[in-house]
Amino acid sequence: MPRSDTLQGAMTRWVRHGGAGKLLFTAPLLIVFGLFAWWPILRSLVLSFQRTNLVADPAWVGLRNFSRVLADPLLVTAAWNTAWFTLLALVIGFPVPVLLAVFVGELRRTRTIASVLVYIPIIIPPVVAVLLWKQLYDPSEHGLLNTVAGWAGLGPFPWLQGAETAMPSIVVQATWAGFGTTTIIYVAALMSVPPELYEAAELDGAGVLRRVWHITLPQLRSVILLMLILQVIGTFQVFTEPYVMTGGGPDNSTITLLMLIFKYAFVVGDFGKATALSLMLAVFLTALSAVYLRATRGWKRS
């Protein structure tokens, strides 16, 4: 049979089985997704190999942007601060939504009201929430948090003005601003746990802690593992909180990788250098995610 007849037959079967209709319905989605998601990525990839300020004609510089980024002494500081923020966010912020979700899950009659109260911080616009916390972190002895600390005979603390206290202060604010959404996700996952498991555990005399340890946490394991990598990716891209609260100070103790990218692009006007660092961060997070997903693949199944 000629090849043209085979190809024509395959096309006819594809049309008869609704292939044209499926393509027609998915084409707008593919176009919009490609235009707003993949095209900027490809454009950034090209910009990372060019010297450009988006006004003058770009010049191809090869890997020079990457070498200039690696030679910047501020890169080590920004990378360390970002890693420090991520570690603090995992230690301080990651357990909070899990514990709150378990607590809300135990509230059989007032679970809906508790879920609404937990979600309230999300309603406040991020910049407004950051400015609100900036007022709470007033370093004077008349500041709200220092007044509360003074009741216990502590402080006053410099909060955002101290190089050692600035980053933990930002992590606390970021945790407060973000735990609502994560808690709701955990609560929704808890709703899928068969109630028969809890009823059987109660008949066996299991208390709250044993039910949480032997039923709740194992049932949430896949969700917890997913939220963990999402939080790591999100914290590596922290920008709003340190930018608004400290501007990267004091003494660059809170400058992060995204703030450095912002500085390259919109302060210095070197978009090639900014996209080079963006690409390096994207490659690192992709590799980290791949390693994490491979390492935890067995944990999700067990």
Q: Give the CATH number, domain containing residue 248.
A: 1.10.3720.10
In a domain, 248, yes or no: yes
Domain range spanning residue 111?
Answer: 67-296
Q: Residue 31: its pLDDT value, please?
A: 92
Residue 29 resides in a domain: no
Specify the pTM: 0.84
Q: Is residue 193 part of a domain?
A: yes
Could you tell me which of 32, 12, 14, 36 has the C-alpha nearest to residue 23? 14
Query: Which residues of the chain fall short of a pLDDT of 50?
Result: none
The pLDDT score that the predictor gives to residue 106 is: 78
Q: Is residue 131 part of a domain?
A: yes
pLDDT at 20: 80
Using CA atoms, how far apart are residues 47 and 35, in angstroms rounded to an integer? 17
pLDDT of residue 246: 92
Domain count, the chain: 1
Identify the pLDDT of residue 233: 93
* 116: in domain: yes
Look at residue 7 and tell me if it is in a domain.
no
The span from the CA of 197 to the CA of 211, in Å, is: 9
Reduced to 3 states, what is the DSSP secondary structure of residue 248?
coil
199 found inside a domain? yes
Q: Which residues contact 185 (CB under 8 A, 6 or more apart)?
A: 97, 223, 227
Quick check: is 120 in a domain? yes
